[in-house]
Chains A and B, each alone.
Chain A
C-alpha cells in the first residue's frame, strides 16, 4: 500500500469476498447490537464502525462498508452515509499512528500552530499527509475537550496533553518503537453486558 494511496475508487468483488473480521470482533459486534430494543439494532452502527475500522487497518473501504451492512442486516448506503458524516471514520488509508492535533481556540491560544509546525518539520509531512514508511499521518482536528491541558493531540484512543517539543519527541519515539497501529477502540469492549 503506498502511503499516499487514495481510497478504493470502485467496489471490488474479489476484495469484498475476502473480508472476514476476527472472531473477537464479530462477538463484539453481536453484543453491541443487543444493546438496543428489538428491531433497533441499527443503533449499533457507530460503535460497530469503530470496530470495523480497527479490523481494517484504520480505514473503511467500500468493501468493508458493504461487509458491515451484511453483518448488520442493513443497506450499504446506510453505512456509507454514516461513515461519510462523522470525522473519526477514515475513508482512505492512513498511517499506523494518526496524530490529530487540536486546532480550536483554547489550543490555538496556547500554541497549537507551533505543535503542527514542529511535527510537520520533524516528520517531513504536511497536514493530511502520511510518512513514506506508513507510520504517521498528521491531521488537525476540532476541539477534543482538552482545553484546560492545551496544546494537545490525540492518537487512537490516547490523549497527549500539555504538549512540549520534548513530549512530542518522546511520543513519536515510543510509537515508532512499538510499531503498532493505534485504534480508537479496542475489542471486547462490551464488558458491561
Chain B
C-alpha cells in the first residue's frame, strides 16, 4: 500500500471542520514551527525534503524560498496558487474541498518561514463553492487563534484571505496571478525581476501551488529527511495525480513517486484499466501542456525500461520519446478517440486562453487552431501538417510566459507520434466528416520500425 501524506484522513467524515481536523493531529506543524523552530530551520527542512513545485514546473521549493529578498521595512507575501486550470488537473480542488485546513495549516507554517504577515489564496472563480469552504475554515481558524494577532502567544501575526478569480487559464502563471490579485488583467510580467524580488505590490513574494504548501505540513512534522526517503532520486515524496479520460476509475490518487505507469493505469488500486474493455491509444501524463505519448511509449521508455511516475522517468527520451510529469493531470485516451480532434481541442483551448500580449502566441494559437480544424474536418492538405510543425516552432520560446510553449508542444508531439493519423484525415476526407469517425474505425498508433545502426 502506498503511503499517504496529504490524503491520509481522506475518508473521515467532516474532516473539513476544525475540530475533526484537530482530532487527527491537525495544526501540529504550526505549533512545532512557531514554538520550536526558526524560519531558517523550516526553509532548511523544506530544502532537505527535495520538495518540488507541484503546480507543474517542478522547481525545488526550498530553493525558491531561499531566493526571497528580505529588505528591511518592506512586507513580504506568500500567495497560494489555487487557480488550477491546466486541463486534466483537479487535485487541488479535491484537496481544498475535503481538507481545507491542511492548506490553511501549510499557509501558516510557510508564511512564518517566509516572514509574511499577510497571505492570500488565489482561487479560480469557477471554484466559488470551494472558496466558501475555505472562507468558513479560515473563519474557524481565526476563532481558535490559529490566525490573527499573536498566534499561540508567540507574537507572530498572520492574516489570510481568499481571492476568487474570474475565469482565465493564464492566471495560473505566477506573475499573471499577481497582476490579477492586484485587480488587473492577467497579463504575465516580464521576468526578471522575479516575484521573489518584486512580486505582489512590488514586494518580495513567493507563489506556491496548493499541493506544494500542503506538503510543507508533513515535512515540518516529520522532517525533510523523512519526506525525502519516499520516492526515487530527485522525485521525492508523494504526488497527487488527477486521473481522467477513458479509464475505469477516474479520480484523484496520492502516489509515492516512482509507481510504475503501467501499475497506475491498470491496477485496481488506481485507474483500474481502460473503460469498456477497450485498448489504450494515447496518454497525456501531466496536463494538456505536456507532449502526448502513443500507447507504446506510455508504460515503457524508448529504451524498453519501465516508465515510472517521476519527473525524470516521464521525461526520459526528451520530447522525442518522452513527456513530463507536469501538474500530474493524467489523461488516458482509448482507441476510439481521434488524436487530430483532440489536438484541435487543445489548440482551441490555448487560443481561447492566450492573453494576447505576445504576437507569436496571440496570432499563432489561432492559426494553429484554424489549420487543425480544417484538417479534422477533412478539408486540409498535406502541407498543412508541416505548416503546423513550423508554426509550433515559431511560437515556442518566443513569448513572455510559457503559454506559448504549452500551446506548441502538444501539437508538435501529436504530429511526431501520430503523423499517419493526420495524413489519414487528408487522404480520406469523406470518412472523417463525421466527428465520431474514430468510433467506427479506430486508428491505433504505429510504432516506428527500429533503425539499424
Q: Which A residues are closer than 8 A to B by beta carbons?
A: 35, 37, 40, 42-47, 49-50, 78, 81-82, 85-89, 103-106, 108-110, 113, 141-150, 154, 157-159, 184-186, 189-193
Q: Which B residues are closer than 8 A to A by beta carbons?
A: 75, 84-90, 92-93, 118, 124-129, 132, 135-136, 138-139, 142, 159-169, 180-186, 201, 242-246, 250-252, 284, 288, 329, 331, 333-334, 337, 341-342, 345-346, 349, 352-353, 355, 435
Residue pair A147, B244 in contact (C-beta under 8 Å): yes
Residue pair A189, B132 in contact (C-beta under 8 Å): yes
Nearest first, the 9 A-B pairs at minimum CB distance are A86-B166, A45-B183, A87-B167, A147-B244, A88-B167, A148-B250, A143-B87, A106-B244, A192-B138
Excluding A45-B183, A145-B124, A146-B93, 15 further A-B contacts by CB distance (< 8 Å) are A35-B161, A43-B163, A46-B183, A49-B166, A86-B165, A86-B166, A86-B167, A86-B168, A105-B346, A106-B331, A147-B88, A147-B90, A148-B252, A191-B139, A192-B160
Residue pair A147, B331 in contact (C-beta under 8 Å): yes
Shortest CB distance A188–B (Å): 10
Shortest CB distance A157–B (Å): 4
Number of A-B contacts (CB under 8 A): 166
Q: What separation, in Å, do the CA atoms of A42 and B184 have in the docked complex?
A: 8
B184 proximity list for chain A (CB < 8 A): 45, 78, 81-82
Q: Give the residue of B126, B201, B246, B353 whose beta carbon is less than 8 angstroms from that of A145.
A: B126
Q: Which residue of B lies closest to A159 (CB)?
A: B129
B181 proximity list for chain A (CB < 8 A): 43
A148 proximity list for chain B (CB < 8 A): 90, 242-244, 250-252
Q: What separation, in Å, do the CA atoms of A43 and B337 have in the docked complex?
A: 43
Binding site secondary structure of chain B: mixed
Supposing A109-B331, A148-B90, A192-B135 touch, asked if A46 and B180 sit within 8 A by C-beta, the answer is yes
Residue pair A109, B85 in contact (C-beta under 8 Å): no
Residue pair A108, B182 in contact (C-beta under 8 Å): no
Q: What separation, in Å, do the CA atoms of A146 and B342 have in the docked complex?
A: 18
A186 proximity list for chain B (CB < 8 A): 132
Q: What separation, in Å, do the CA atoms of A141 and B75 have in the docked complex?
A: 38
Q: Which residue of A lies closest to B163 (CB)?
A: A47
Residue pair B93, A145 in contact (C-beta under 8 Å): yes
Residue pair A87, B168 in contact (C-beta under 8 Å): yes
A43 proximity list for chain B (CB < 8 A): 163, 181-183
Q: What separation, in Å, do the CA atoms of A45 and B346 have in the docked complex?
A: 30
Q: Which residue of B lies closest to A34 (CB)?
A: B161
Q: Which residue of A lies closest to B126 (CB)?
A: A144
Shortest CB distance B274–A (Å): 12
Q: Give the residue of B125, B139, B337 whose beta carbon is less than 8 angstroms from that of A86.
A: B125
Q: What separation, in Å, do the CA atoms of A104 and B349 have in the docked complex?
A: 7
Chosen A-B contacts, 6 in total, with CB atoms closer than 8 Å, are A46-B125, A85-B186, A86-B166, A86-B167, A105-B88, A142-B169
Q: Give the residue of B161, B186, B284 whose beta carbon is less than 8 angstroms from that of A105.
A: B284
Residue pair B250, A50 in contact (C-beta under 8 Å): no
Residue pair B342, A46 in contact (C-beta under 8 Å): no
Q: What separation, in Å, do the CA atoms of A44 and B162 have in the docked complex?
A: 11
Supposing A46-B125, A144-B126, A147-B250 touch, asked if A109 and B245 sit within 8 A by C-beta, the answer is yes
Q: Give the residue of B85, B92, B164 whose beta carbon is less than 8 angstroms from that of A143.
A: B85
Q: Which residue of A lies closest to B135 (CB)?
A: A192
Q: What separation, in Å, do the CA atoms of A103 and B117 have in the docked complex?
A: 40
Q: What separation, in Å, do the CA atoms of A42 and B251 have in the docked complex?
A: 38
Q: What separation, in Å, do the CA atoms of A157 and B130 have in the docked complex?
A: 9
Q: Give the residue of A82, A106, A113, A145 whose beta carbon is less than 8 angstroms from that of B245.
A: A106
Q: What separation, in Å, do the CA atoms of A47 and B183 have in the docked complex?
A: 9
Residue pair A44, B284 in contact (C-beta under 8 Å): no
Supposing A105-B331, A145-B126, A147-B87 touch, asked if A192 and B161 sit within 8 A by C-beta, the answer is yes
Residue pair B128, A185 in contact (C-beta under 8 Å): yes
Shortest CB distance B373–A (Å): 14
Residue pair A157, B128 in contact (C-beta under 8 Å): yes
Residue pair B87, A142 in contact (C-beta under 8 Å): yes
Residue pair A192, B129 in contact (C-beta under 8 Å): no
- A103, A105, A150, A191 interface centre (most CB from chain B within 10 Å): A105
- B75, B84, B182, B243 interface centre (most CB from chain A within 10 Å): B182
Supposing A86-B168, A145-B93 touch, asked if A44 and B129 sit within 8 A by C-beta, the answer is no
Shortest CB distance B49–A (Å): 27
Residue pair B89, A145 in contact (C-beta under 8 Å): yes
Q: Which residue of A lies closest to B127 (CB)?
A: A145
Q: What separation, in Å, do the CA atoms of A46 and B161 have in the docked complex?
A: 14
Residue pair A109, B142 in contact (C-beta under 8 Å): no
B333 proximity list for chain A (CB < 8 A): 109
Shortest CB distance B129–A (Å): 5
Shortest CB distance B111–A (Å): 15
- B87, B118, B135, B139 interface centre (most CB from chain A within 10 Å): B87
Supposing A85-B168, A150-B250, A192-B142 touch, asked if A143 and B162 sit within 8 A by C-beta, the answer is no
Q: What separation, in Å, do the CA atoms of A159 and B333 have in the docked complex?
A: 24
Shortest CB distance A73–B (Å): 12
Q: What separation, in Å, do the CA atoms of A103 and B167 have in the docked complex?
A: 15
B162 proximity list for chain A (CB < 8 A): 192
